[in-house]
Chain A
Amino acid sequence: MSPIDSKNSLSANPTDEIFDRDHVTVIEPPRGWHMLDWRELWAYRELLWVLTMRDIKVRYKQTVLGAAWAVIRPVVTMVIFSVVFGQLAKMPSDGFPYPIFVYAGLLPWTFFAASIGSSGQSLVGSAHLVSKVYFPRLIIPVSSVGAGLVDLLISTGILMLMMLWYGVGWSANLLAAPVLLLAVVFTSLGVGTMLSALTVAYRDFSHLTPFVVQIWMYITPVIFPISIVPERWQWLVYLNPMTGLVEGFRAAFLGKPFDPTGLGISFAIALFLFAIGVAYFEKVERRFADII
């Protein structure tokens, strides 16, 4: 293929075969369970980026405080929790000052809760797109999880400042943070995509989700340390993937030792949730436009 043949360079990414002039797209009735088309998803990566950026840009449009909300929300939550659970309820905190202890746990938890909330609603909120144009639908819930990463980054900055304030030194454990973050993202994607697909067919889930998130927080060691759970029952708490991840974040930032077994269980379940969520989404994806 000659590079000066303009007809063949319509697509700026000649590597994306699905946009090729000679690529034949076959449209057939849905086949039930099937593999995710990674190549197609990859070819639409720019759309994922653009939609994520859209969500980030419009999030604080026409607000007086703008991006300051990304700071205010976690800080105020941390202060309230410190007063209620730290001061009044005298919740143990593994020997760390309660504010930094609870904040390190809130970091992944807030991201997770916000992500599954927004991605759960994302498909229904994008009904105008789903019924008017084709692209891999998975991009919609994934982009709303992606948009939450900015808030997470901002809250991580605050945690760094708190570590300076409380004199908690940085340790080599911090190197695990990216891996833990990835696991939180995967868990959020799994639950979020599943919820978004279910919400299309059953709007009950938009009422159910906030409520489940609330309960979920109390079975996750966000406001309490896992150490208050009797050791022989801890494995049960670790079946909740957020347990391992929240504890893992604390270990990474506060320099506590990791619990490899707990983390392992939580990682495995995170991956499992991701696989189930995406598989279910892919199975029902093609009828979204008809029922949304």
Chain B
Amino acid sequence: MSAPAIKVEGLWKEYTVGAARQQHGTFYDLLSHSLRSPLRRLRSLGGRAEDPQRFWALRDVNFEIQPGEVVGVIGRNGAGKSTLLKMLSRITAPTKGRIQVRGRLASLLEVGTGFHPELSGRENIYLNGAILGMTRSDIASKFDEIVAFAEVEKFIDTPVKRYSSGMYVRLAFAVAAHMEVDVLLVDEVLAVGDAAFQEKCLSKMSALQSVDRAVIFVSHDVGAVTRLCSRSIVLGGGMVEYDGPVTGALSHYYDRQLGSKIDLSSVRFDGTLVKEINLSGLTIEGRFVGDSGLLDPDAGITLTLHGQASRAFDDIDIVLAVFVRGTRLFTQHDTAERSPLNKGAFRSTFRLPPNLLRPGTYEVGIGLGRSAGREHSWNASVAQFRVAEIWAHHRRADAHGLISAPCGSTREYV
């Protein structure tokens, strides 16, 4: 095995909380502070570790990445992902530890870094390329490819301030996608651009894998990480929580996400049974994507309704309906027929299969009834949940419609 492309040893990064006062402060503050209390300054230098105003964004991070590996870094906000990328790309310096990078490194923390609105597309390609560390001849040799990839041939001599946001992003990504480097760091830059272009960028990035180039990919889009990476590092609280195959990383990551219980005590239900049967809470569980609160369409969604009956009934039917933009998509009943409900606490569970709902926002209506609906309780909008748009390779990005219908389709030649 060749030498690692990236070797991170005992990496720590300390930030000062409330840096606004201490570091952005005026020169006068600094002067008066150091004049008034030189001793305090000295003491605070000695006792840094105890200072509550400081915190460690990264604590003792260690890993190695081999050439050709594509590693996804995931973690909640504040887990240290961006800090890690910034240190690897030399934007900010570590507090302790050591990083070794073999070969040429480029980081893509944002698309279009340094784009100047007054300059033309052509000039910006050279400008952005130079900022990303490409040489003029590198850029010149790839110029046509970049322009074609970005689909901006007609506007190449127009100032980019006249570009649509889509064109701007396409051009910016195209430059970055054509860099020839040994180590590439990519932050969540894929969050921009339309779906078709995102798809194009992802395949361009997958192509990087075939060359012996190391890629670190940071994303909230777990689908993209699954698709691009074979290995994943999960960061939590500045530490490496998991480092290994991507499948293990995802289950490690999801295990930490809990469905939250929605309190219905303040929700007003209509109908005659409101007093006798109290619906108190709803839990929506599924696989959450990152810490976004979005549900992964590839996993089933379970909705659990918690309630309390003040007396026994012999024919109660509890229902859950899912609406999208005011249209009732479907209704589910907790039992096949109206059936008895005992006095006391009860729980009704509704399970939606994986890949039923397309990405979007859904509203949940719940209610109950007896005797053909004459006595009932109902609210058409007690909660909402959102299904994430994620790239998973077996689902088509160009499918349309409210639901993914479980139909069988074939093509035959006759």
B113 touches A27 (CB 8 A): no
Segment touching A, from B83-91, B244-252, B356-364: B83-91
Q: Which of A10-18, A82-90, A157-165, A260-268 contacts B (4 or more CB under 8 A)?
A: A10-18
| Cross-interface CB contact of B96 among A23, A29, A61, A201, cutoff 8 Å | A29
Cβ-closest chain B residue relative to A26: B100
What's the least CB distance linking A97 to chain B, in Å? 40
Which of the 9-residue segments A69-77, A128-136, A187-195, A227-235 touches chain B? Answer: A128-136
Segment touching B, from A114-122, A236-244, A283-291: A283-291
**Cα A291 to Cα B22 with chains together (Å):** 10
Q: Counting CB contacts under 8 A, is B104 at the interface?
A: yes
Residues of A within 8 A of B171 (CB): none
Contacts of A23 in B (CB 8 A): 102-104
Does B28 touch A at the CB level, under 8 Å?
A: yes
Q: State the CA gap A265–B87 with chains docked (Å).
A: 43
Q: Is the CB of A133 within 8 A of B94?
A: no
Interface residues of B in 324-383 (CB under 8 A from A): none
Decide yes or no whether A28 CB sits under 8 A from chain B: yes
Q: Is A37 an interface residue (CB 8 A)?
A: no
Are B91 and A46 interface neighbours, CB within 8 A?
Answer: no
- Does residue A58 face the partner (Cβ distance < 8 Å to B)? yes
Q: Are B99 and A27 in contact (CB under 8 A)?
A: yes
Q: Choose from A26, A133, A198 the contact partner of B132 (Cβ within 8 Å).
A: A133
A residues less than 8 Å from B114 (CB atoms): 128-129, 133
Residue of B nearest to A57 (CB): B119
What is the distance, in angstroms, from B191's C-beta to the closest C-beta of chain A? 15
CB-based contact A27/B90 at 8 Å: yes
Binds A, one of B133-141, B200-208, B227-235: B133-141
Which of A148-156, A167-175, A202-210, A245-253 sits within the interface? A202-210
Q: Is B313 in contact with chain A by the CB < 8 A criterion? A: no
Q: How far is the CB of B214 from chain A (nearest CB, A)?
A: 12
A133→B100 contact, CB < 8 A:
no
Query: Whole-angstrom distance between the alpha carbons of A246 and B205 in the complex?
Result: 56
Q: List 5 A-B contacts (CB under 8 A).
A: A12-B138, A19-B104, A29-B94, A133-B113, A202-B25
A residues at B contact (CB < 8 Å): 10-13, 19-30, 46-47, 49-51, 54, 57-58, 61-62, 128-135, 198, 201-205, 286-287, 289-291
